[in-house]
Amino acid sequence: MNKLFVLALMSILPLSLSASGSDLRIVYGELDFYIPNSPNVVGYLGTDSEILIAKYSDEPGKDIVGFSLDKEVNTGGCSPVVFFKSVLSKKESECDAKAIESFRYVFMKNRDSGIWSSGNKEFFYFIGSDKSTVFFIEEGTDNKTYKIESNFLSKEGIKGIFSSYL
Amino acid sequence: MRSDDREYVAAVINFFWQGLAQPHSVNENSAKVMYEALTEAQSCTASIDLVPRPTYTPSLNYIIKEIAKIGQRIMSGDTSIYNMCRDQVAANYKTHIRTALWGL
């Protein structure tokens, strides 16, 4: 009986441990994200962007995952969705050319970029070796734009943040 | 950091994000982040408008002196070299400058 119980437990635990042992669930806004477990610090840093960070190193500025609302990107007179699709496309755009060009310089130079899509959700990713950013526009919220950043996670690690949706 | 340097570094931070920094809240790490952000803004503008790219040696003393010089220029209203890419650079560095100002 005891052996049966142990075997039954072993068949359940690896799954539940890997699910709860490798990721930490973050609820930000009305969205679910998953980040690596055991950050050294989780801090709400405020501002109009509602910045929340998880930090995995004691060294200043290192190993951060950040969640915020973007208030800065100049979308060149377009809605954020149209703007992000324009920067990723080679087609001519109705958005201001300098806004597109400067965005490409800052967020796309030496970065891998594209869209992760699932259902009606689109995540615009810009992945670099030392800085990565993902933008997500929540539907029906007057273009509320979420910005998720990391300066240490790999592309796979960053995609994992959105595992609830992708 | 000297008090006038703090004032100039705060001016540079507030040029990108209005009201984000006070001279007393500035530290060496925030100066480093701003140096990186300014370098990116300058090279971004250069790539679009052919402004000469800066050369730099990233020691902390050099960084603070450079930021102070740029802060003086910004306080006197000379911001043209940074305007073109300011918004996009601000978006790229906001979390990092806020983290630095918190000493994290």
Query: How far is it, in rounded angstroms, from Cα A124 to Cα A81?
Result: 9
Of A41-45, B25-29, B78-82, B96-100, where does mean pLDDT reach its minimum?
Answer: B78-82
Residues of B in contact with A46 (CB under 8 A): 98
C-alpha A94/C-alpha A96 separation (Å) is 7
Distance separating alpha carbons of residues B69 and B59, to the nearest angstrom: 15
List of chain A residues with pLDDT < 50: 1-19
Q: Which helix (H) or strand (E) segment is B78 a member of? A: none
Cut 0.90: pTM above it: no
Q: What is the pLDDT of residue B70?
A: 87
Query: Mean pLDDT, chain B, as a whole number?
Result: 88
For residues A12 and B28, which has the higher predicted lDDT (pLDDT)?
Answer: B28
The answer to whether the CB atoms of B100 and A70 lie below 8 A apart is no
What is the reported pLDDT for A140? 80
Tell if the CB–CB gap between B94 and A74 is shorter than 8 Å: no
Q: Which residues pair with A121 in a beta bridge?
A: A118
pLDDT of residue A3: 39
Query: Between chains, do A55 and B99 touch, taking CB under 8 Å as contact?
Result: yes
- CB count in 10 Å sphere of residue A14: 10
Is A72's CB within 8 Å of B90's CB? yes
Percent of chain A whose pLDDT exceeds 90 = 78
Of all residues in chain A, the one with the smallest CA distance to B102 is A45
Question: In this predicted structure, what is the pLDDT of residue B46?
Answer: 83
> Which three-class secondary structure state does DSSP give residue A31?
strand
Structure tokens, A140: 């029906």
| More confident position, B73 or B91 | B91
Strand locations in B17-60 (E): none
Within chain A, strands assigned E span 23-28, 31-36, 41-46, 51-55, 64-69, 112-118, 121-127, 132-137, 145-150
